[in-house]
Structure 1
Amino acid sequence: MLAVLDDAAGRLAARGIAQWPARFEAEWITDALRRGETWLVGVDGDTAGTVTLDRSDPLWADTGGAAGYVHRMAVRRTAAGLGAVVLDWAADTVRQQGAQALRLDCVRSNSRLRAYYESRGFVHRGDAAVGRAPGQRGVEGPATWVSRYERVLNP
């Protein structure tokens, strides 16, 4: 999983997008693994992607309704198109758990990713500043502006 995340982080950095740190630390994902919220996606026996599907996100504390939250979604370049499958799976999974929406965010400056999310049915729900390094959450450190997106789920 760390290799998939690091690969994606490297591609983002090469495009000048500071979404994630250059390398992910294992302790950043350990709790989500322990809670059973992180998934690996395989294609033909190879690990092609990963996603964490959380039940809450403080970034959305001002928004009501039951929702699932996509974090740390990454797909290897060799599995182009898999992102749409992962997002649909995440939507179906949280819908079955009673959620009314699937939510996610990305750095505001990543216009390509923002356009992709909008093409997948997500609606921009405003921007917010988060602290610490990109890809981590906290209230300390330099602020990074992120754009919040929501996809309302049909029952």
Structure 2
Amino acid sequence: MTTRKSYTLTEATKKVEYYCAYQERCHKEVAAKLREMRMIPEAIDQIIVHLIKENYLNEERFAHSFVRGKFNIKKWGKKRIELELKRRDISPFLIRTALKEIDNRAYQETLDTLIHKKLATLKESNIQKKKKKLADYLLYRGWESHLVYDKLNNLVK
């Protein structure tokens, strides 16, 4: 039988300070980490308040960082990013604000690039099946359906 380490308030605070300094976190992730460390609800609240006061935890900063990362690195569309932020209990206002960080021209260029890259890998000869595979791929990544279908109708013939 393995016994899990128990933490004092100070030890837990230091551990989650490092956890937050390493990478931007949302409140939900930090609370889950503290529950995993078997901290009581009062201690969790106290530590989260400390992290906010000391600027280790900032949901607005997290939302902006999340949007930049998922768009620039993973090439996700706005719908997928919005869904993932909602799952992390980020407020609708912060989600809207953070999504404004994506430049419209860069958004369109990224969609075009994704379409051309994926088209190059599709070996399907049936045009309708090819369009469906491409649309499914882009919709899964969170691109808006009207943008996807507009592009596909103009591109794949």
Q: Which has the higher helix share?
A: 2
| Larger fraction in strand | 1
Bin of the TM-score, shorter chain as denominator length: under 0.3
Structure index of larger Rg: 2
TM-score w.r.t. length of structure 2: 0.28
